[in-house]
Structure 1
Amino acid sequence: RASVMDAISDGVAILQGATEYPAYVRFRQSNHFFYLTGVEVPRALVVVDGRARRTTLYLPSRNERAERSEGPVLTPGGEAERLTGILTVRSREAFADDLASVLEEGRIVFTPFRPETLAAGTPSHAVAHASASEEDPWDGRRSREKIFIERLGSLVPGVDIRNLDPILDRLRVIKSAREIAVIREATRISGTAILDVMRSAKPGMYEYELAAIGDFYFRRYNANGPAYFALVATGENAHYPHYHASQSMLQPQDLVLYDYAPDYQYYSSDVTRMFPADGRFDGDERERYTVYLR
């Protein structure tokens, strides 16, 4: 956050967190929001003030009914300030009034223009999906970011709103020691899964059974889930780089392509191996395999 403050100078950076899913699935925060806050609460907001060198986190107020069902969550107040390390944590209901007073000072506002990147997603996929939805004559939905920018502008007409994405992208290119350690652990988990897949595979098994081994290791090591859908391709299916139907049976002479990795603490790795379904490398297969390892 200090680096963001340096980049925006006298300005204010504002990010909105992801929304809850309309289903009984585990919540996952948007990548940029988690990067700046480490907070996994739906509909959170954060304001990074470059002039005051201060960060304010806004969280939904306590929902006692939801807590009785799912357990306690982070809510505004001292406990949230202690756990997050953010000095000021206020109710989401205070966001509009607090922000209006800042915008009336004529400050430049920075906020992401690009659609948020969520689990198993990439920025390019997020942009393509948002564009397709908006341009679809039977859909027409605008991205949350476009609506958010419009609402920010309505608070104080004429406010200067600029794109925060280039700043965050530039910061994230260079990884910290902690980030590198997390990526290495994601790689270790993926490698451990692939080794077990290679030991377990045999003719007569199905591609989805090999994918399930990866799922087991991801959960065993407390990953959020898969970083992308399982690319398990046997025989001619391996001709397609992103084949993911996972319905074919392994045949005795098949080569199996396995490309599957975890989403671990909001970072992922990408490890791919190809091996014989019967577990035995002949001379030609062994030679080709070692070429990739070099």
Structure 2
Amino acid sequence: MKYEQIDSNLFVKNRKKFMSQMKPGAIAVFNSNDIYPISADSTMPFQQHRDIFYLSGVDQEESILVLFPDAPYEHQREILFLTETSEHIAIWHGAKLDKKQAFEVSGIKSVYWLQDFNKVFYELMTYADTMYINTNEHYRASVETETREDRFIKWWKEKYPAHKVEKSNPILQRLRSIKEPEEIALIQKACDNTEKGFRRLLGFVKPGVWEYEIEAELLHEFVRNRSKGFAYGPIIASGNNANVLHYVENNKQCKDGDLLLLDVAAEYANYSSDLTRTIPVSGRYSKRQADVYNAVLRVKNEATKMLVPGTLWKEYHVEVGKIMTSELLGLGLIDKADVQNEDPTWPAYKKYFMHGTSHHLGLDTHDYGLLHEPMKANMVFTVEPGIYIPEEGFGIRIEDDVVVQESGEPFNLMRNIPIEIDEIETLMNAK
């Protein structure tokens, strides 16, 4: 890992919260992700399953976490199973966690090697009535690959068909959506790294640079600040490319007069940040570009004020739509007749602003959170309105990451990242 080791007290707290929600006599199991093959002997870079990381801090493959708060013996209540490290593994791939290191990372005293799992697990299951399985129920999930977790669930159902079944995901959706102070600090670190990358770009972007060169500048800055890199696939979209919401080719040359939409952000310790800024390739916004930019900025600022405890996500987006409608009328992009005749299921403003305004942020860029439940303090949300005008050859999106506060306006984790036109132009034209 590149990041500094996280205090294990965070993971101790997270496990206590999860176990307090389990039913009596229940056991829960969490598996690491696979290392996914590409072809021949090539593999994708490993990414840890966020649930086992959230509960243990263990950031390596072939790991299993077992939680059994009602186990008859204390050493059975929290158990880690890890691949046994060896001199051979250390030489070829780098040493894995030993038992002492695993305790330092996780705060879990009972650590076994993976080859002992079946024997130890069998004894635990003789004491348990209920099994919590860990399924992916995120509202945006669309998974075709069979995961290590899927294979474990199949094996467990065949091996232990008489046990009751519960789901871990509803508990985790609520727990992970409300961040501990340590987690907010890690997201802030990711945002700080993103700021460094963005400021680097303001002195680099000019007519003639290529989108992929900008991507390289960002990656350089992120990695040198102990990040694995981008929190998600970077969107570096000049000109009309900005009107493709998930443009990821990043292979066009930036032209004089273009706007450049940058939806790019660093991760840190598996926690995401999520930034969007739209800057002028030439260093100066045109009058029309500035008018649209400021309209988007006003929507973002007003939307941010609504991210307070008790707000419902669906109703929030309706209110943001009203604010956007007013701005689009002012820009002449829609007229009163468009609004009066609009389809309630697809309002007039959707022609120019077709996506949502906010999503949960944390260990996943689109993090856990039950959208039908009211917002609570210490949830972290993005705020990202946009206006996309293909007929004028540009699109503008502006995005910050904010923490819902118990009282008052949300706390902006990206408060130090340039956002006003004057500051962006000044930094882009500095000698």
Pairwise TM-score range, normalised by the shorter structure: 0.7 to 0.9
Indicate how the Cα distance of structure 1 residues 2 and 286 shifts in structure 2: closer, same or farther if over 3 A, else same.
Answer: same
* Distance (Å, rounded) in 2 between the aligned partners of 1:35 and 1:61: 22
Amino acid at match of 1:175: K
> Which of 265-274 and 47-56 deviates more?
47-56
* Distance (Å, rounded) in 2 between the aligned partners of 1:190 and 1:79: 30
**Does residue 47 of structure 1 match 2:66?**
yes
**Does residue 18 of structure 1 match 2:40?**
no
1:74 aligns to what? 97
* Distance (Å, rounded) in 2 between the aligned partners of 1:211 and 1:29: 24
Indicate how the Cα distance of structure 1 residues 78 and 250 shifts in structure 2: closer, same or farther if over 3 A, else same.
Answer: closer
Cα deviation for residue 83 of structure 1 reads 4.1
Cα deviation for residue 24 of structure 1 reads 5.9
Q: Which residue, 242, 246, 249 being the options, matches 1:245?
A: 249
Cα deviation, 1:84-123, whole Å, max 9, x if unaligned, reads: 31110011111111111121234211121228xxxxxxx4
Amino acid at match of 2:132: F
1:128 aligns to what? 142
SS of match in other structure, 1:205? coil
* Distance (Å, rounded) in 2 between the aligned partners of 1:185 and 1:288: 31
**Is the contact made by 1:108 and 1:162 (CA closer than 8 Å) also made in structure 2?**
yes
Amino acid at match of 1:87: K
Alignment of 1:152-231 (within 5 A): 152-231=156-235
* Distance (Å, rounded) in 2 between the aligned partners of 1:41 and 1:191: 28
**Is the contact made by 1:199 and 1:279 (CA closer than 8 Å) also made in structure 2?**
no
SS of match in other structure, 1:226? coil
* Distance (Å, rounded) in 2 between the aligned partners of 1:162 and 1:199: 53
Indicate how the Cα distance of structure 1 residues 112 and 242 shifts in structure 2: closer, same or farther if over 3 A, else same.
Answer: same
* Distance (Å, rounded) in 2 between the aligned partners of 1:224 and 1:270: 15
Q: Share of identical aligned residues, percent? A: 28
Amino acid at match of 1:97: K
1:255 aligns to what? 259
Cα deviation, 1:56-84, whole Å, max 9, x if unaligned, reads: 00001123212112332213x34432443
2:151 aligns to what? 147
Amino acid at match of 2:161: P
* Distance (Å, rounded) in 2 between the aligned partners of 1:235 and 1:241: 13
After superposition, the CA RMSD in angstroms is 2.1
**Is the contact made by 1:100 and 1:156 (CA closer than 8 Å) also made in structure 2?**
no
Q: Which residue, 124, 132, 154 being the options, matches 1:110?
A: 132
Q: Which residue, 99, 114, 117 being the options, matches 2:121?
A: 99
Cα deviation for residue 197 of structure 1 reads 1.4
Cα deviation for residue 161 of structure 1 reads 2.3
* Distance (Å, rounded) in 1 between the aligned partners of 2:117 and 2:66: 9
Gapped regions of structure 2 (runs ≥ 5) = 1-14, 302-431
SS of match in other structure, 2:237? strand
Cα deviation, 1:146-192, whole Å, max 9, x if unaligned, reads: 32112112333312222111111110111010111111221222122
**Is the contact made by 2:83 and 2:96 (CA closer than 8 Å) also made in structure 1?**
no
Gapped regions of structure 1 (runs ≥ 5) = 116-122, 134-141
**Is the contact made by 1:14 and 1:47 (CA closer than 8 Å) also made in structure 2?**
yes
